[in-house]
Structure 1
Amino acid sequence: MTTPTTVSTCTVVTEEGKHVFEIFDYSKLRGMGNGEFIRSATFSVGGYDWAIRFYPDGLSANSMNFSVHLELLSKNTIARAGCDLSLVDQTTGLPTSVHKTDLRVFNSSGNSRFAPMGCEFMGRSYFEASPYLRDDHLTIQCIATVRKEPHVSAPGLLKEIEVPPSNIAEHLGNFLDAEEGVDVTFSVGGESFTAHKVVLAMRSPVFRAELFGRMREANEQVVMIEEMQPDVFRALLHFIYTDSLPDMDDPEGKANGEMIHHLLVAADRYAVDRLKLVCQSILCKNLDVETVSTTLALAYQHNCERLKDICLEFITSSSSVMDSVVATQGYKNLKTTCPYALVDAFEKSRKFHKA
């Protein structure tokens, strides 16, 4: 006889809300005085009332900053909450986080009703030269997250049947390794690889056109792959079948950087978009002075816009970083292979340092 099992659950519930505070005629607010503020309309998140305080001249005496704070307005209460305060770039419409408070206690009767609790936010001279202020207009965005009391359910009989995680990728990988039912052979750098046309066509529009379209590869017994190393093609096939990278000692380590470069090129060539994004993610995590120029050239050559922006932001992050990058061999190669990247880097640096 099976012993019945009862179960209860504890669920932590959070509620998130976003408020946007638009401020026009900023210059007319300057000079209000230290400690003087403009308060946004009241908004509610998680059953509590909140507002944004904006201090054009800062909180403390002789402050050279302006201050922004989230304020708990509900009276005689304690809330467990966090917030993310951002300024919106007026040229792109995208928010940039300037202060983040993790979940903590907000007490309406003390200074902890504010976040941040300190006075500093951003230097006024830096702010006024930044893209956050355009046409005397700025936008403050606040995302507030409120944690409610944990909810514990009533006990009930455990009726679930455990379902294992999907293993289709494992089965497809084994199908490739076993070479069962293969119907196409590729020759890559003197090595042969067998595969299944339908799987390749399902995962890559380029393979679909080559193997089922009117291209000559559709009628050939052996398809020749030029300008690709066998190890790279093997890794490409592995990803197509399993949606994962093959085993590497450290796929995000520098030792595999060249392989990831080649895989990105292969992914772009065969329009395996998810693999292309995986490679970009690994490359951006391993940016340093020595690798950034090579990665930037790769990003330009294969239309990786986000990776390109990250590389340019890295190069122009400070004058010392830029000087170190310029001294590398990769930068010298970049000047020859991708000179327009240097133009973008110069323009980005100029905008960042413009007073």
Structure 2
Amino acid sequence: MSFAGVSIINYSDVTGYSIEVSAASGYHLLVVRGYSRTKYYASGTVIRSRLFKVGGHRWCIQYFPEGNAAECAGSVSFFLALLDENVTEPLKMQYDFSFVDELEKQDPAYIRANEPHGFSSSHPCWGYDGLIKRDALEKSKHFNKDCFTIRCDLVIATTVDISIKVPPSTIHQHINDLLLSKEGTDVTFSVGSETFVAHRCVLVARSTVFKAQLFGPMKEGVVASVVQIQDMEAKVFRALLSFVYTDSLPDTEVDMGEGKKGGEEALWLQHLLAATDRYDLQRLKVLCEEKLCKHIDVKSVKTIFTIAERHNCCGLKEVCLEFLKAPAILKEITAADVFDDIIRTCPFLLKELIGKFAF
């Protein structure tokens, strides 16, 4: 599934950004912040996500904090809405809503097993009248600090009945098994107090920086010796190495208790993002940006914006600016004296924020 952007709901304000996905499948994230301020809305009150595009069509997510009708009161409702006009022939779509940590529901095979629904101008919306009861949501693991994140996956259904099922690719698992078994490794890295062994050919195939370091003019200096990695934590290099072999973001290495887990994860992601720039791993960089979007709040926005500016993360910068320009957020920042800190230590953020208000 291709990432189609993120929408962040702060009370009635909606910020975020979208990525146009030309493929026939994709997903959009809806982050609900300040949930407690929306749960007493009247039944039928809707908050819409930002517009996003998947498969050449325009979509949005409709969030009903108190259900989409009186009979759904006490529940939260979610609908996927087609925004294209003059669609007379129903567009067959398979879709599902899940909480962002429900990975088993986000497998493409799981989505494609759902019954297709016909979206058209006369019937543009399909969804769940009551995805979950409010009291169950508030007690669930998906709810944290008055916030939760919904993922909407959608696939344009095919009418072709394919009888031969092609198994999913396992090449990433096979290559990762090489790293785990340490068989055939031919280069050693020293990071802090830890050492890591890897395969020179895999590294140079994935990173131009590793290629220059291991196959370039200075390769003789690292063939028989241990490569020293400075200014990087071992857990960050371990994550970077895992991505090189699997092409996916590894699990967060957080040692703190649940109360500090969010802050520790954000810090780990910031260090990992810096490492992606250092070794020119652009896909991992975008994955870090996507994850960091979920950690933007009043206390962290300045730091995350600074990281985005330093490493040329345009999408992450845009989400920070959209978050800051919301009237409710500006009021909270001013009251907390965070604005004075931004003026003193991060004037370029203030300059870009003013530019936002000019348009």
Query: In which range does the TM-score fall when normalised by the shorter chain?
Result: 0.5 to 0.7
Report the CA distance shift for 1:337/1:196 in structure 2 as closer, same or farther (over 3 A): farther
Report the CA distance shift for 1:258/1:210 in structure 2 as closer, same or farther (over 3 A): same
Corresponding position of 2:287: 278
2: CA distance between counterparts of 1:163 and 1:338? 52
Corresponding position of 1:212: 215
Corresponding position of 2:308: 299
Corresponding position of 1:325: 333
- 1:315 lines up with 2:330 in the alignment: no
Report the CA distance shift for 1:151/1:262 in structure 2 as closer, same or farther (over 3 A): closer
Report the CA distance shift for 1:275/1:267 in structure 2 as closer, same or farther (over 3 A): same
Report the CA distance shift for 1:152/1:234 in structure 2 as closer, same or farther (over 3 A): closer
Report the CA distance shift for 1:248/1:306 in structure 2 as closer, same or farther (over 3 A): closer
Is the CA contact (8 Å cut-off) linking 1:185 and 1:223 kept in structure 2? yes
Match of 1:239 among 243, 258, 262: 243
Report the CA distance shift for 1:326/1:218 in structure 2 as closer, same or farther (over 3 A): farther
SS at match of 2:188: strand
SS at match of 2:297: coil
Is the CA contact (8 Å cut-off) linking 1:236 and 1:263 kept in structure 2? yes
Q: Structure 2: where are the runs of 5+ without partners?
A: 1-23, 25-82, 93-117, 125-155, 255-260
- 1:201 lines up with 2:204 in the alignment: yes
- 1:172 lines up with 2:158 in the alignment: no
Corresponding position of 2:189: 186
Alpha-carbon deviation of 1:238?
Answer: 0.3
2: CA distance between counterparts of 1:327 and 1:215? 54
Is the CA contact (8 Å cut-off) linking 2:191 and 2:229 kept in structure 1? yes
1: CA distance between counterparts of 2:279 and 2:262? 25
Alpha-carbon deviation of 1:344?
Answer: 1.1
1: CA distance between counterparts of 2:170 and 2:184? 20
Percent identity, aligned pairs only, is 40
Alpha-carbon deviation of 1:215?
Answer: 2.7
Report the CA distance shift for 1:176/1:104 in structure 2 as closer, same or farther (over 3 A): same
Alpha-carbon deviation of 1:339?
Answer: 2.5
Residue type at the aligned position of 2:303:
T
Is the CA contact (8 Å cut-off) linking 1:236 and 1:267 kept in structure 2? yes
Q: Structure 1: where are the runs of 5+ without partners?
A: 1-14, 16-68, 83-101, 107-111, 116-146
2: CA distance between counterparts of 1:323 and 1:220? 59
Report the CA distance shift for 1:151/1:207 in structure 2 as closer, same or farther (over 3 A): closer
Corresponding position of 2:297: 288
Residue type at the aligned position of 1:207:
F
Residue type at the aligned position of 1:185:
T
Is the CA contact (8 Å cut-off) linking 1:294 and 1:334 kept in structure 2? no
**Superposition RMSD on alpha carbons, in Å?**
3.7
Deviations 1:13-67 (A, max 9, x none): xx9xxxxxxxxxxxxxxxxxxxxxxxxxxxxxxxxxxxxxxxxxxxxxxxxxxxx
User: When the two structures are aligned, how many residues end up with a matched partner?
Assistant: 216
1: CA distance between counterparts of 2:119 and 2:288? 34
Corresponding position of 2:226: 222
Report the CA distance shift for 1:300/1:261 in structure 2 as closer, same or farther (over 3 A): same
Report the CA distance shift for 1:182/1:326 in structure 2 as closer, same or farther (over 3 A): farther
Report the CA distance shift for 1:185/1:333 in structure 2 as closer, same or farther (over 3 A): farther
Is the CA contact (8 Å cut-off) linking 1:294 and 1:331 kept in structure 2? no
Alpha-carbon deviation of 1:346?
Answer: 2.0
Report the CA distance shift for 1:323/1:172 in structure 2 as closer, same or farther (over 3 A): same
- Please say which structure displays the higher CA radius of gyration: 1
Alpha-carbon deviation of 1:163?
Answer: 3.1
Alpha-carbon deviation of 1:164?
Answer: 1.9
Alpha-carbon deviation of 1:220?
Answer: 5.2
Residue type at the aligned position of 1:233:
F
